[in-house]
Amino acid sequence: MSNDIYDNDFGTENEGMKGERIEMMVDIYESADQVRDYDFKTETNTHKPLQRTGSDSVKSRSSRAAVVCLVLLCVLLLTAVIVLCVHIYTNLTVQRNELEIKITNLTVQKKELEIKNTNLTEERKTKREQLINQLSNLDEWIYYQFSFYYKSNEKKNWTESRRDCLKKGADLIIINNRTEQDFVMNITNRTEFWIGATDTDVEGSWKWVDGSNMTSGFRFWATGGEVNEPGGGKEENCAVSHSIQWPNIKGCHDVKCNDAYHWICEKSIIPLIQRETS
């Protein structure tokens, strides 16, 4: 019986020791696994940072190179802008100076032209006054609005009257407007004087002695009552200034060219002034 108890105790002890050994082995394996895991992770951790450090170094060098290039480009661009601004400013300054010189020259020329124009105006005015005074000394000539007028004391037909005017360097009068017509009526005392109008070339087509048509803006021919000029037809082809038959009617009349009347010569001083001042 005691052997049984001994055997039982021994067996029990062996089983307990066996269990402890098993637990210790499990702990050892777990520790070994932890060691392997730790070494692997450590090894991995020690290798990976080396790889990241090389990549970061390359990237860092690339970044620094890019920054340097960008800075150089900015410097070059700024330099180009400064040079361009200086060039533009220099050109504008030169152009401004040239314009100021031109303006100064033009101002001087303008003043010179104004002085010359004033001198010419005064000179022309003086010559015109001298010419008028000289022509005013002509016997039997009347001055009015840049023209001299001559009234004859004798009577001739239209052709001979014009010939006398041409000898005097003038021609039969050409009435241009109502003012001149009133002037003629005043100096002729409303009596008939030959004027430079005729339709001898073409019947009904009245022209002045200078070849211009009688297209004045005022009523040239006399009208009113029984008067309606020109009304002589083919027989009356020359004009006189006024008719004493109708003293209250203003205007010219057509008469026969071979009739005898006084005449009026006209000499314009404008061509003379132009010749003197040219």
CA distance 116 to 145: 27
Average pLDDT, the chain: 78
pLDDT in tens, 157-201: 999 999 999 998 899 999 988 889 889 988 888 789 999 999 998
Measured in whole angstroms, the distance separating CA 8 from the mean position of its chain's CA atoms is 136
Q: Which residue has the higher pLDDT, 138 or 191?
A: 191
The model's confidence at residue 38, banded by pLDDT at 50, 70 and 90, is: very low
What φ, ψ does residue 230 adopt, rounded to 5°? Answer: -75, 140
For residue 49, the model assigns a pLDDT of: 47
- Cα–Cα distances (Å) from 44 to 39, 49, 118, 251, in that order, read 8, 9, 109, 135
Q: Which of 34-48, 70-84, 152-166, 238-252 has the highest mean pLDDT?
A: 152-166
pLDDT in tens, 78-135: 998 999 999 898 888 988 999 999 999 999 989 888 888 888 788 777 777 766 666 5
The model's confidence at residue 220, banded by pLDDT at 50, 70 and 90, is: confident
The model's confidence at residue 44, banded by pLDDT at 50, 70 and 90, is: very low
For residue 219, the model assigns a pLDDT of: 72
Q: Which residue has the higher pLDDT, 199 or 35?
A: 199
Residue 228 predicted with pLDDT over 60 = yes
163 close to 259: Cβ distance less than 8 angstroms: no
Residue 243 predicted with pLDDT over 60 = yes
Using a pLDDT cut of 90, give the percent of the chain over it. 22
What tokens does 4 get?
Answer: 């049984």
List of domains in the chain: 142-269 (3.10.100.10)
**9-32 average pLDDT score:** 57
For residue 3, the model assigns a pLDDT of: 47
The model's confidence at residue 273, banded by pLDDT at 50, 70 and 90, is: low
**Least confident window among 92-106, 211-225, 256-270:** 211-225
Q: Which residues contact 188 (CB under 8 A, 6 or more apart)?
A: 151, 241, 242, 262, 264
